[in-house]
Amino acid sequence: MTLKRLMVSAGIAAMLAGSAAAQQTLVYCSEGSPEGFDPALFTSGTTFDASSHPVYNRLAEFKTGTTEVVPGLAESWEASEDGLEYTFHLRPGVKFHSNDNFTPSRDFNADDVIFSFERQRLEDHPFHSASGGSWEYFQSMSMPDLISSVEKVDDMTVKFVLSRPEAPFIANLAMDFASILSAEYADAMMEAGTPEMLNQAPVGTGPFSFVAYQKDAVIRYAKNPDYWADGLPKVDNLVFAITPDASVRYQKLQAGECHIMPYPNPADIQAMQDDEAVTVAQQEGLNVGYLAYNTTVAPFDNPKVRKALNMAIDKQAIIDVVFQGSGQIAKNPIPPTMWSYNDAVEDDAFDPEAAKEMLEAEGVSDLSMKIWAMPVQRPYNPNARRMAELMQADFGKIGVDVEIVSYEWGEYLERSRALDRDGAVLLGWTGDNGDPDNFLAVLLGCDGVEASNRAQWCNQPFEDLIQEAKTVTDPAERTRLYEEAQVVFKEQAPWATIAHSVVFMPMRPEVEGYKVHPLGGHIFTDVSLAE
């Protein structure tokens, strides 16, 4: 034991076991280095975990562990009758962090909100191209078209004017790219000739302030003592120990070198659940993996043919073999953690005999088709090639001959958009803002044909429902519309819905209050360490 003590002067183990030090430090074994610390410039979850969640706040926030939108830096907001104007009442007395080069002279106010959006929106804004970056997420959520203006009503009130009614707008404002930066810090850095510091030494209002980053090694944060939410955050220091290999993360967790880790190897999960030194939290991810038929090409333009094929797929076998248990059968195009998920929808029964008869009834015989298998791993599809092989066998049993094709990832994404594409495509989606619109309209709406709608499916009854749901702001009414849209989707079967991944989060038993976040972020504001 003495030898062990001596050798593991990595110290964390000693700290965990040792006397309750005055300072509590939570160590998170993160999976990679962030691309930077200005969340609006990037789109990857690894970057958001290191920037938007600890360092920043947004006007509205997702309640951790849910897709529900709650007040953040805005205490309240209201929409105009026509859904075109949103007025936000800002939270008073919120302080920005300070660092070696900057001490804020004022509290958070409307100027910061305007700065944070206008720098992304206006091409002539001094910070629009200051970082050499592009505002990918802001662009891909169509924010430049949607927002016509952002106006300061008074110091603590901001009004957004939209070009069209868009109910998911509030959820967009809770997204990472909508994080609020300090306009005063930006000006100070511009004056000092170092505008890139916004991306390298972030200053926000969040629960933790940024201390230091060493690329590929470690990121350090300290508790923000002036945080506006009382009693939060609960730990004094937050450390990200960057550890790219999943097996090594598990070893570090066991050795007590970190408290919590993301993305375990599926093969290790059973051992972790049996391990007394580790507890494993789990939840369905906000994603869906699907097989999209090309609904513009015969015989796949016939919903009954698509339905018959869906009935031939043994999804349980896919969950067991491809996901190794870390997945759940999908029956709807949206995951169960999302509001408006319609649990009353019945999945197509797995019944090869009936499927074969249905195909014969439709006069389809000697059918041969292509299945496209993605070349990359994704949470919603850890092994597309294997999945395609299982489907090939399933379809073979009902007399459908399958050829599996694949391309390099960029080619795959590009070619699968084509309207006359030959074959059904394996693909998936991970939600951005927790709004059903972000799945149903993006992936299945008429605007997405030849783009993100890989089924090339434009169905008028479905389209009417999702368009109406964009314009009404009453949540109950929106829920009803989306539930109905899921019924239409199931009848028409443009996709075979395959799986939602299950997210596992292994941690040490002393970690308390961690909630798996359906939007994929890893958030430590509410986490504490038991003595």
Partner 1 sequence: MLRFFISRLSTFFVTFVGVTLISFAFIRVIPGDPIIVMAGERGMSQERYEELTRQYGFDQPVLTQFWDYLTGVLQGDLGQSFVTKKPVWDEFFALFPATLELSLCAIILAIALGIPAGVIAAVNRGKFFDRALMSSALVGYSMPIFWWALLLIIVFSGNLGWTPVSGRMGLLYYFPTPTGFMLIDSLLSGQSGAFVSAVQHLILPTIVLATIPLAVIARQTRSAMLEVLSEDYIRTARAKGLKPWRINGLHALRNAMIPVITVIGLSVGTLLAGAILTETIFSWPGIGKWMVDSIFRRDYPVVQGGLLLVAVVVMIVNLIVDMLYGLINPRIRTRK
| Residue 358: both structure tokens together | 């249905």
Q: Which is nearer to partner 1, 70 or 248 (CB)?
A: 248
How many CA atoms within 13 Å lie on the side-chain side of 312? Answer: 26
Rounded Cα distance between 96 and 82, Å, is: 35
Comparing CB distances to partner 1, the nearer of 178 and 311 is 178
DSSP per residue, 276-342:
TT-EEEEEE-SEEEEEE--TTSTTTTSHHHHHHHHHH--HHHHHHHTSTTSEEE--SSS-TTSTT--
Q: Which of residues 443-482 bind partner 1 (CB under 8 A)?
A: 451-452
**Strand 237-241 with 25-28, pairing:** parallel
Q: Is 510 in the site for partner 1 (CB under 8 A)?
A: no
Cβ nearer to partner 1, comparing 270 with 368: 270
For residues 502, 506, 510 and 516, what is the CA-based torsion angle, rounded to 10 degrees?
A: -30
209 forms part of the interface with partner 1 (CB under 8 A): no
Which of 68, 111, 136, 187 is in the footprint of partner 1 by CB under 8 A? 136
Q: Which listed residue (168, 428, 494, 520) binds partner 1 by CB under 8 A?
A: 428
Does the footprint of partner 1 cover residue 41 (CB under 8 A)? yes
Q: Which of the stretches 86-94, 165-173, 318-326, 423-431 binds partner 1 when contact is defined by CB under 8 A?
A: 423-431
Binding-site string for partner 1 from residue 151 to residue 190, where x marks contact by CB under 8 A and - marks none:
----------------------------------------
- Identified binder of partner 1 from the candidate list 76, 101, 103, 139, rule CB under 8 A: 139
Among 67, 120, 337, 430, binds partner 1 (CB under 8 A): 430
Asked whether position 265 contacts partner 1 by CB under 8 A, the answer is no
Minimum distance from residue 34 beta carbon to partner 1 (Å): 9
Question: Which parts of 390-409 interact with partner 1 (CB under 8 A)?
Answer: 407-409
| CA atoms of 123 and 127, how far apart (whole Å) | 9
CB of 1 to partner 1, least distance (A): 9
Taking the chain, what is the end-to-end CA distance rounded to the nearest angstrom? 21
Are the C-beta atoms of 228 and 205 separated by less than 8 Å? yes
Indicate which single residue of 218, 317, 458, 487 sits in contact with partner 1 (rule: CB under 8 A): 218
Residue 177 near residue 45 (C-beta atoms within 8 A): no
**251 scored as a contact of partner 1 (CB under 8 A):** yes
Out of 71, 83, 104, 133, which residue is the one contacting partner 1 (CB under 8 A)? 133
Q: Return the structure tokens found at 163.
A: 């070009």
Calculate the alpha carbon distances from 212 to 101, 221, 223, 238, 341 in Å: 14, 7, 13, 11, 42
Taking the least distance from each CB to partner 1, the nearer of 199 and 473 is 199
Place of tokens 């939840």: 283
Max alpha carbon distance in the chain (Å)? Answer: 78
245 binds partner 1 (CB under 8 A): yes
Interacting span for partner 1 (CB under 8 A) from 56-64, 332-340, 382-390, 422-430: 422-430
At position 361, the amino acid (one-letter code) is A
Q: Which helix (H) or strand (E) holds 481?
A: helix 475-492
Size of the site for partner 1 (CB under 8 A): 61
Judge whether 300 and 423 are in contact, CB under 8 Å.
no
Q: Please tell me whether residue 4 binds partner 1 under the rule CB under 8 A.
A: yes
Size of the chain, expressed as the number of residues it contains: 531
Strand-pairing partners, residue 71, are 60
Residue 207 CA: distances (Å) to CA of 204, 223, 343, 356, 526: 9, 6, 36, 58, 10
Which of 88/208 has CB closer to partner 1? 208
- The nearer residue to partner 1, 72 or 428, going by C-beta atoms, is 428
198 or 496: whose CB is closer to partner 1? 198
Looking at 57-65, 68-76, 85-93, 235-243, which segment touches partner 1 (CB under 8 A)? 235-243
267 binds partner 1 (CB under 8 A): no
CB atoms within 10 A of CB 366: 7
Dihedral sign computed on CA atoms, order 256, 262, 266, 272: positive
Q: State the minimum distance, in angstroms, from the CB of residue 229 to partner 1.
A: 27
Residues that bind partner 1 (CB under 8 A): 3-4, 7-13, 15, 25, 27, 32-33, 35-36, 41, 43, 131-134, 136, 139-140, 196, 199, 212, 214-218, 220, 239, 241-245, 247-248, 251-252, 254-255, 257, 407-411, 413-414, 417, 427-430, 451-452
